[in-house]
Amino acid sequence: MADIFSAISANSVANANAGAAPDKGVNTDKEAFLKLLVAQVSNQDPMSPQSSDQYVQQLTQFSTLEQLMTLNQGVETLAIGQMSNNSQEALRFVGQDVVARGDKLAHTRGDYSEVAYDLQGEADAATLTIRDSYGEVVYETDVRADNGMQRFTWDGRDSKGAALPSGTYTVSVEATKDDAPVAVDSYVRGQVTGVRFDQGYPELMIGDRRVRMTEVVEVKSSSGSGVQ
């Protein structure tokens, strides 16, 4: 009887590799199992029939296999449904301003850009630094060093007051307490201009920066102000 189960298992794998629909594969395996079972019973040695315990064992094994295949089909269906829901949810972000974890800031010349940072403890001093795409420091200033979420509005100018061109800039905040570093999480705000799906999951586009939905901590209307 073990041969029947092996044949059914092989048939299941073949159906999966061939891309057969799960429900069709289950039905095919049922038919194959019954045919093989009838053939083996018909051709067994009447002088040495197989024990009924072997039939029961084989039926139990096949039932378990069928349940696993049905469960797998259900998981696949659930995953597809969840992906569809995530895609629809992501599309609702288009045109909205979001605050997301990260250090990449999509700046438009002449616009103000908002940065938020979360100090994980009391600090004596904190410094915010903005770098261009080449890694050169274009702006640096002292900022509030209070514990918790803080915000800063950058006017898009360098340290000499000259307006900087549109592009992606990197923001960093360093804080210290008695000359020891204090952990800081940075957040940036930008408008979602599109959604990409080429990684197998939705990613929000803020300029040329990709943001996962799990990185978004706040959604604000385009007319809103500040990071709260």
Widest pairwise Cα distance in the chain: 102
DSSP 79: H
Do the Cβ atoms of 173 and 127 come closer than 8 Å? yes
Q: What architecture is domain 97-220?
A: Sandwich (2.60)
**Residues, the chain:** 228
Q: What is the pTM of this model?
A: 0.53
Query: If you average pLDDT over every residue of the chain, what do you get?
Result: 76
Lowest-confidence pick of 85-89, 125-129, 162-166, 191-195:
85-89
DSSP codes of every residue in 155-173: -SB-TTSPBPPSEEEEEEE
Confidence check: pLDDT of 183 > 60: yes
Candidates 138, 191, 193, 178; CA nearest to 161 is: 138
Contact 204, 93 (CB under 8 A): yes
Q: What is the mean pLDDT of residues 116-131?
A: 92
- Give 52-80 pLDDT, tens digit per residue: 666 567 667 767 766 776 676 666 655 54
The conformation of residue 11, written as its DSSP 8-state character, comes to H
Question: Using one digit for the tens of pLDDT, what is the confidence trace for 7-25?
Answer: 545 555 455 455 444 445 4
Helix 2-17 × helix 52-91 angle, to 10°? 20
Residues 139-163 pLDDT 10s = 999 999 999 889 899 999 999 999 9
- Rounded to whole angstroms, the Cα distance separating 174 from 123 reads 10
Higher pLDDT, 157 or 31: 157
Q: In this model, does residue 225 exceed pLDDT 50?
A: no
More reliable by pLDDT, 211 or 45: 211
- Tokens, residue 76: 């696949």
